[in-house]
């Protein structure tokens, strides 16, 4: 005490103590003020209309529960009803509000594609409960700002095929609406058909809200046992009506968009007995019980996922408060990776978990939809979502079984052995410098990736010592100079990579299939001013990128090159001795369909997608809003760079392993050797 | 002047200390209830009903709930929780955990324990509550006798055991009180607990009974029951009385009513009693008149409600006599 008294008798000491007290009071005041500030969470969801899934009432109920329990700060929702305000305008309002760092929404994938790039640029988290397009996270996950609480519809596609397999079904067709929603099912149907050993007889699109009659007829014509219908309620009802009128035999199974009152109303008695699947809560959490107790009815499909969106949003805000040095994306990644104790999904469990996060710890978060666990290599994509297999009985959706849905293992089906059997002696033949023809059949901005793939292959071959005069590029090369290209005259193959564009095309005219065939047979045409002049001693690489369909490659203006004509052309090239060996690489949807039945000596055919299967993009640029490359081409060229001494067999095996969204194929005639070095097509060592 | 300075500074320090103390003084502690059960929620029946009782009680009585999914071990302590916080009540669900309840009572003699849906359990601090299903089943029997056209009524039961007999006894007495000429045949699926998980066999049995003229079946077989319900959906004119939960959701045109244990109500009442100092220390049996069991009519068949209401008192009286008879035995 005497020390304190003697200290206080000194003027300096007194001033020091006063300053210290001032600082303490100020800091305390700031902390007190800050703790009274709410966690503000933006909401961009519809409060009415077709896309409303009762989001607002679920969020208000969840917030009310958390505020009752207390998480350290009050939680405040800032709603903008996207049924009333256009989603872009609503998104701008949220982005412009500095007090909002996390937004829940939007409801649909179309909306999410529109606003995701702006949220990424603004470094604000966007958590959607119901936008389930497969491409959404493939495009945006690497930034860490776009999250969802329902697994993409890829998982739904997988479950549909699993159900069919369990029923003993041998064949199925897909009927899908032409929209972002239908596209995911189209993208993955063939993949999971192959994985489940079911024959996919057809994939047929129809226009949303239009007459699906022709599409139904086309699907039935392929004679499947089942038709998977990815459509909204009223369209699905129309499909049932047509099937009933025509007395068609295939049975139907529906995707989640059907589970609506609109469907029951529109289909009436015909709905009785229909079946399908929809996302749901993890019933083991007790969410159904709590929800029904509060609202007096069973929850909508996305209620649990809406609830969980809020838990994630507040948990991320608590983490940002605990560790201010982390970016919002890093905070969210930390929140979903916690393992420090498990807490329940309900208000008590969630509030306790959030309080822990606020204190710097990281518990293992659980939601109403199940454990909130995410793919490590695809942040934002949940590992598992529960689905219910329903059936309409007594004009209501009755739950049959509950199924955990995920993407599954990367690929269960191994490479078709017949394609790669037959070990032969490795022979490195001395020969002429390889020749290459690089073709893209498409143009326009949305086909950026095709021209970028060709440009990258061209630069790779040049780097590998193949001379310019031995490479023919056929591409309109319009993309580098289009008005929407912010980097005029440039093309990129990777986000943040170098410009790869080198002017090289021999024609900027749109080419026809006739012109292309003539070129391969050594003849000129109005579109291509000369013909291929290779001879029987050349190894030839023919790399084709563009759009494809079952049994054809698309050329401009609706022109098609059919697989039979293509194979006849190859036969003729062989007879004219235009190659010693030719490696054909097709980067297009349904690529395998161009090579099925091919058996021309010296011809090896590789493609990234099986018959009926779309190929997938590899890297998406949010500024250009375009895919920069394709998965198969990117994987293959990476392997060529990393393993230049590999054989074609090895190249195929490694590419098959690396491509994740489709099934690469290789086809070679019985007499063709696959144990030849890739250098014979991609490298010229003498000139290096 | 120095004194003034010193006084101001000392006052400031005291204010800071008081403020800091206020910040760290904890609020009033909420009581803790630990709920221990076997199985998984989401059964739309027994466990979900118990969970409903728990959350209803939690909304009305402010307490913290802890859930333990019992795996046969003591890995998770039912009394001492995180941070050493002690449970004020342990609720244990199901007869299978009677031994576990005794162990908990031995280890924590100060903590009240309630075992729900179990007979008498040893221990001074343990209360047990069991359900009598006689009364609700009696009403189901009355309903069955009223609805049958063939006078042939079936019962598919899991096994021949006391846990089943209060259902079957009540049901048969109810049938005969309404229609002495009716024929009731009881078939047990197994000699052991496997009878609770044989839906395929229950379906086969339903088809076989139907082929012999049975037009109403009472299923007292837990997880096997839905097998009979699924089969009945394809057998025109066959109706089911379900059990455990309102099973009309499974087949709205087939299941006319369900005999249920009101586990939710019992869970709620026991928690309420514990926190209002009314918790007894004995074994209790509750049935129709206490709201522990009920016959729930499918909304589609609401016109049958009057019949049930008219016979309610009679069923409750008969249940009381039945339980008295059991005690005498």
Determine the Cα–Cα distance for residues A119 and A95; give it in Å rounded to an integer.
7
Query: Which H or E element spans position A605?
Result: strand A603-607
Determine the Cα–Cα distance for residues A66 and A62; give it in Å rounded to an integer.
6
Determine the Cα–Cα distance for residues B298 and B294; give it in Å rounded to an integer.
13
Closest among A432, A428, A678 to A536, alpha carbons compared? A432
Domain B32-131+264-286 sits in CATH at 3.40.50.2300
Task: Name the residue of chain A whose CA is nearest to B64's CA.
Answer: A348
Render the burial of A455-465: b for 16+ CB within 10 Å, e for the rest: bbbbbbbeebb
Q: Is B30 on the interface with A (CB under 8 A)?
A: no
Q: A445 and A569 share a domain?
A: yes
Provide the pLDDT for residue A427.
40
- Residue A425 maps to a domain: no
CA-based nearest distance B44→chain A, Å: 8
Say how many C-beta atoms besides its own lie within 10 A of residue A295's C-beta: 15
- Residue A96 maps to a domain: yes
* Residues of chain A contacting B56 with CB distance shorter than 8 Å: 293
Residue of B4, B12, B34, B255 to mutate, testing the A interface (most A Cβ within 10 Å of its Cβ):
B12
Return the structure tokens found at B269: 């009442």
Residues 342-361 of A with CB under 8 A from B: 344, 346, 348
Q: A253 and A306 share a domain?
A: no
Q: A337 and A361 share a domain?
A: yes
Domain of residue A667, CATH code: 3.40.50.1460
| Residue B55 to residue A289, Cβ atoms within 8 A | yes
Q: Which residues partner with B183 through β-bridges?
A: B152
Q: A161 and A106 share a domain?
A: no
In chain B, CATH 3.40.50.2300 sits at 32-131+264-286, 134-260+298-328
Domain of residue A80, CATH code: 3.40.50.2300
* Residues of chain A contacting B250 with CB distance shorter than 8 Å: 398
Determine the Cα–Cα distance for residues A259 and A233; give it in Å rounded to an integer.
7
| Residue B64 to residue A284, Cβ atoms within 8 A | no
Q: Structural domain tally of chain A?
A: 3
Determine the Cα–Cα distance for residues A574 and A598; give it in Å rounded to an integer.
13
CA-based nearest distance B12→chain A, Å: 7
Phi, psi of B316 (to 5 degrees): -65, -40
B183-188: strand order across its sheet:
B183-188, B152-157, B216-220, B239-244, B255-261, B293-297
Determine the Cα–Cα distance for residues A478 and A507; give it in Å rounded to an integer.
11
Please state which of the four CATH numbers 3.40.50.620, 3.30.2350.10, 3.40.50.2300, 3.90.1640.10 is assigned to the domain occupying B134-260+298-328: 3.40.50.2300
Q: A371 and A227 share a domain?
A: no
**Cβ atoms of A611 and A596 closer than 8 Å:** yes
| Residue B250 to residue A24, Cβ atoms within 8 A | no
pLDDT tens per residue, range B83-126: 788 999 999 998 888 999 999 999 999 999 999 998 888 888 89
Average pLDDT of chain B is 90
| Residue A282 to residue B252, Cβ atoms within 8 A | no
**Cβ atoms of A126 and A146 closer than 8 Å:** yes
Provide the pLDDT for residue A421.
45
Determine the Cα–Cα distance for residues B160 and B210; give it in Å rounded to an integer.
22
Residue of B4, B7, B9, B254 to mutate, testing the A interface (most A Cβ within 10 Å of its Cβ):
B9
**Cβ atoms of A253 and A275 closer than 8 Å:** yes
Provide the pLDDT for residue A35.
63
Q: A67 and A112 share a domain?
A: yes
Provide the pLDDT for residue B152.
97
Residues 77-96 of B with CB under 8 A from A: 82
CA angle A462, A465, A470 (to 5 degrees): 70
| Residue B16 to residue A24, Cβ atoms within 8 A | yes
**Cβ atoms of B240 and B251 closer than 8 Å:** yes
* Residues of chain A contacting B11 with CB distance shorter than 8 Å: none
CA-based nearest distance B30→chain A, Å: 11
| Residue A348 to residue B65, Cβ atoms within 8 A | yes
Q: Which residues contact B139 (CB under 8 A, 6 or more apart)?
A: B174, B259, B288, B295, B308, B311, B312, B315
Q: Which residues partner with B240 through β-bridges?
A: B217, B255
| Residue A283 to residue B82, Cβ atoms within 8 A | no
Determine the Cα–Cα distance for residues A287 and A293; give it in Å rounded to an integer.
10
Say how many C-beta atoms besides its own lie within 10 A of residue B223's C-beta: 16
pLDDT tens per residue, range B279-293: 776 889 999 999 999
ipTM of the complex: 0.84
Residue from the list A5, A24, A285 with its beta carbon closest to the beta carbon of B41: A285
Q: A622 and A559 share a domain?
A: yes
Residues 181-200 of B with CB under 8 A from A: none
Residue A109, phi-psi category: left (phi > 0), alpha (psi -120 to 50), beta (remainder): alpha
CA-based nearest distance A290→chain B, Å: 7
Q: Is B48 on the interface with A (CB under 8 A)?
A: yes
Return the structure tokens found at A391: 């059936």
Provide the pLDDT for residue A412.
59
**Cβ atoms of B242 and B229 closer than 8 Å:** yes
Provide the pLDDT for residue A688.
47
Residue of A289, A386, A391, A394 to mutate, testing the B interface (most B Cβ within 10 Å of its Cβ):
A289
Closest among A112, A177, A98 to A149, alpha carbons compared? A112
Q: How far is CA A60 from the centre of its chain?
A: 31
Provide the pLDDT for residue A669.
72
Q: Which residues contact A12 (CB under 8 A, 6 or more apart)?
A: none
- Residue A362 maps to a domain: yes
CA-based nearest distance A228→chain B, Å: 25
Task: Name the residue of chain A whose CA is nearest to B11's CA.
Answer: A21
Provide the pLDDT for residue A419.
46
Q: A190 and A207 share a domain?
A: yes
> Could you identify the residue written with the tokens 């096997």?
B224
| Residue A288 to residue B42, Cβ atoms within 8 A | yes
| Residue A348 to residue B64, Cβ atoms within 8 A | yes
Q: Is A282 on the interface with B (CB under 8 A)?
A: yes
Q: Is the pLDDT of residue B24 over 90?
A: no
Q: Is A286 on the interface with B (CB under 8 A)?
A: yes
Q: Which residues contact B217 (CB under 8 A, 6 or more apart)?
A: B153, B154, B155, B156, B206, B209, B228, B232, B238, B239, B240, B241
**Cβ atoms of A19 and A74 closer than 8 Å:** no
Residues of chain A scoring pLDDT < 50: 1, 418-428, 687-688
Provide the pLDDT for residue B16.
58
Q: A377 and A398 share a domain?
A: no
* Residues of chain B contacting A341 with CB distance shorter than 8 Å: 82
User: Can you point out the beta strands (E) in A237-345?
Assistant: 251-254, 275-280
Q: A464 and A611 share a domain?
A: yes
Phi, psi of A77 (to 5 degrees): -95, 140
Averaged pLDDT for residues B217-233: 93
- Report DSSP letters for B149-191, one per residue: SSSEEEEEES-SSHHHHHHHHHHHHHHHHH-TT-EEEEEES-S
CA-based nearest distance B263→chain A, Å: 14
* Strand A226-230 versus strand A251-254 pairing type: parallel
Residues 251-280 of B with CB under 8 A from A: 251-253
- Cis peptide bond upstream of A656, omega within 30: no
- Residue A62 maps to a domain: yes
**Domain extent for A626:** 438-484+531-687
Provide the pLDDT for residue A400.
74
Q: Is A61 on the interface with B (CB under 8 A)?
A: no
pLDDT tens per residue, range A61-75: 999 999 999 999 999
- Residue A416 maps to a domain: no
Averaged pLDDT for residues B169-194: 95
| Residue A21 to residue B12, Cβ atoms within 8 A | yes
Provide the pLDDT for residue A443.
94
C-alpha torsion angle, residues A460, A462, A466, A471 (rounded to 10)? 90
| Residue B41 to residue A18, Cβ atoms within 8 A | no
**DSSP label of A342:** B
Cα dist from A268 to A51, A228, A247, A399, whole Å: 22, 20, 17, 19
- Report DSSP letters for A360-376, one per residue: T---B-EETTEE--B-S
The size of the A-B interface in CB pairs under 8 A is 62
Cα dist from B309 to A85, B59, B178, B217, B218, whole Å: 54, 31, 14, 22, 20
What's the whole-model pTM score? 0.84
Residue from the list A21, A286, A293 with its beta carbon closest to the beta carbon of B16: A21
Q: How many helices (H) and strands (E) does chain B have?
A: 9, 12
Cα dist from A59 to A106, A149, A373, whole Å: 14, 14, 21
| Residue B52 to residue A25, Cβ atoms within 8 A | no
| Residue A25 to residue B16, Cβ atoms within 8 A | yes
Return the structure tokens found at A667: 């086809």
Query: Which sign does the torsion angle of CA B12, B15, B19, B25 carry?
Result: positive
* Residues of chain B contacting A349 with CB distance shorter than 8 Å: none
Provide the pLDDT for residue A7.
59
Q: Is A273 on the interface with B (CB under 8 A)?
A: no
Query: How sure is the predictor about B4, in pLDDT bands with cuts at 50, 70 and 90?
Result: low
Cα dist from B272 to B89, B228, B279, whole Å: 11, 38, 8
Q: A546 and A669 share a domain?
A: yes
């Amino acid at each position: 005490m005497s020390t304190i008294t003697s200290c206080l008798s000194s003027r300096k000491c007194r001033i020091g103590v006063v300053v210290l007290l001032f600082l303490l009071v100020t800091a305390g005041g700031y902390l007190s003020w800050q703790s009274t500030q709410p966690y503000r969470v933006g909401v961009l969801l519809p409060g009415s209309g077709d896309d409303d899934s009762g989001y607002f009432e679920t969020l208000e109920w969840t917030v009310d529960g958390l505020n009752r329990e207390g998480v350290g700060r009050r939680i405040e929702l800032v709603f903008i009803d996207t049924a009333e305000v256009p989603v872009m305008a609503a998104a701008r309002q949220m982005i412009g509000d500095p007090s909002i760092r996390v937004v829940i929404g939007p409801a649909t994938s179309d909306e999410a594609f529109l606003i995701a790039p702006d949220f990424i640029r603004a470094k604000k988290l966007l958590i959607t409960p119901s936008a389930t397009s497969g491409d959404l996270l493939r495009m945006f996950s690497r930034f860490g700002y776009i999250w969802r609480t329902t697994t993409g519809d890829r998982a739904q596609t997988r479950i549909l095929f699993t159900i069919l397999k369990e029923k003993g079904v041998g064949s199925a067709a897909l009927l899908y609406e032409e929209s972002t929603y239908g596209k995911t099912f189209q993208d993955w149907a063939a993949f999971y058909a192959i994985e489940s050993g079911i024959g996919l007889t057809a994939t047929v699109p129809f226009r949303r809200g239009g007459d699906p009659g022709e599409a139904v007829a086309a699907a039935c014509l392929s004679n499947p046992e089942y038709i998977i219908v990815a459509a909204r309620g009223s369209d699905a009802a129309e499909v049932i009506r047509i099937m009933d009128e025509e007395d068609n035999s295939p049975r139907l199974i529906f995707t989640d968009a059907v589970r609506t009152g609109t469907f029951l109303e529109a289909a009436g008695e015909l709905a009785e007995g229909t079946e399908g699947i929809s996302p749901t809560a993890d019933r083991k959490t007790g969410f159904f019980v709590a929800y029904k107790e509060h609202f007096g009815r069973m929850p909508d499909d996305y209620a649990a996922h809406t609830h969980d969106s809020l838990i994630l949003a507040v948990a991320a805000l608590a983490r940002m408060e605990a560790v201010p040095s982390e970016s919002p994306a890093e905070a969210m990644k930390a929140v979903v990776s916690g393992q420090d104790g498990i807490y329940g999904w309900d208000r008590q469990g969630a509030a306790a978990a959030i309080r822990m996060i606020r204190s710097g710890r990281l518990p293992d978060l659980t939601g109403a939809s199940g454990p909130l666990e995410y793919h490590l290599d695809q942040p934002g994509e949940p590992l598992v979502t529960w689905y219910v297999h329903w059936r309409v009985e007594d004009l209501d959706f009755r739950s049959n079984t509950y199924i955990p849905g995920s993407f599954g293992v990367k690929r269960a089906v191994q490479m078709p052995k017949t394609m790669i059997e037959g070990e032969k002696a490795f022979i490195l033949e001395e020969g002429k410098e390889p020749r290459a023809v690089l073709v893209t059949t498409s143009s326009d901005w949305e086909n950026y990736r095709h021209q970028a793939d060709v440009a990258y292959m061209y630069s790779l071959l040049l780097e590998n010592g193949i001379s310019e005069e031995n490479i023919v590029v056929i591409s309109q090369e319009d993309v580098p100079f289009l008005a929407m290209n912010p980097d005029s005259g440039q093309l990129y193959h990777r986000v943040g990579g170098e410009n790869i564009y080198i002017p090289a095309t021999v024609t900027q005219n749109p080419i026809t299939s006739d012109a292309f065939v003539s070129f391969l047979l050594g003849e000129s045409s109005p579109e291509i001013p000369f013909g291929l002049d290779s001879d029987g001693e050349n190894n030839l690489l023919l790399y084709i990128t563009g759009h494809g369909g079952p049994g054809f490659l698309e050329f401009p203006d609706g022109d098609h090159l059919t697989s039979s004509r293509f194979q006849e052309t190859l036969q003729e090239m062989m007879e004219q001795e235009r190659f010693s060996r030719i490696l054909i690489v097709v980067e297009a949807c349904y690529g395998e369909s161009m090579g099925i039945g091919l058996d021309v000596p010296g011809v090896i055919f590789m493609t990234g997608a099986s018959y009926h299967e779309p190929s997938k993009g590899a890297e998406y640029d949010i500024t250009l809003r375009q895919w920069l490359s394709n998965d198969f081409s990117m994987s293959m060229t990476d392997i060529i760079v990393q393993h230049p001494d590999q054989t074609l067999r090895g190249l195929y095996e490694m590419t098959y392993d690396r491509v994740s969204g489709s099934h690469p194929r290789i086809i070679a005639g019985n007499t063709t050797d696959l144990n030849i070095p890739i250098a014979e097509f991609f490298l010229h060592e003498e000139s290096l | 002047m120095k004194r003034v300075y010193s006084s101001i500074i000392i006052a400031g320090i005291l204010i800071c200390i008081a403020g800091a103390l206020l910040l760290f003084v904890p609020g009033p502690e909420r009581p803790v209830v630990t709920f221990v059960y076997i199985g998984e929620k989401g059964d739309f029946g027994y466990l979900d009903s118990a969970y409903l009782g728990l959350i209803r009680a939690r909304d009305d009585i402010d307490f913290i709930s802890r859930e333990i999914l019992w795996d046969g071990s003591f890995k998770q302590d039912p009394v001492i929780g995180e941070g050493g916080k002690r449970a004020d009540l342990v609720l244990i669900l199901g007869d299978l955990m009677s031994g576990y309840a005794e162990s908990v009572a031995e280890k924590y003699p100060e903590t009240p324990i309630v075992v729900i849906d179990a007979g008498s359990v040893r221990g001074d601090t343990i209360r047990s509550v069991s359900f009598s299903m006689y009364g609700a089943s009696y009403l189901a029997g009355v309903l069955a006798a009223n609805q049958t056209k063939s006078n042939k009524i079936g019962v598919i039961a899991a096994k021949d055991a006391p846990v089943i007999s209060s259902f079957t006894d009540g049901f048969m007495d109810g049938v005969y009180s309404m229609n002495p000429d009716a024929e009731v045949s009881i078939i047990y699926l197994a000699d052991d607990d496997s009878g609770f998980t044989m839906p395929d066999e229950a379906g086969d049995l339903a088809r076989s009974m139907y082929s012999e003229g049975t037009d109403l079946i009472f299923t007292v077989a837990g997880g096997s029951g839905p097998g009979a319900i699924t089969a009945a959906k394809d057998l025109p004119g066959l109706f089911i009385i379900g059990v455990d939960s309102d099973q009309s959701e499974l087949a709205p045109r087939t299941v006319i009513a369900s005999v249920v244990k009101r586990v939710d109500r019992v869970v709620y009442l026991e928690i309420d009693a514990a926190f209002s100092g009314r918790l007894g220390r004995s074994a209790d049996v509750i049935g129709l008149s206490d709201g522990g069991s009920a016959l729930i009519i499918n909304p589609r068949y609401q016109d049958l409600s009057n019949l049930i209401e008219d016979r309610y008192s009679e069923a409750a009286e008969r249940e009381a006599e039945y339980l008295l008879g059991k005690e005498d035995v």
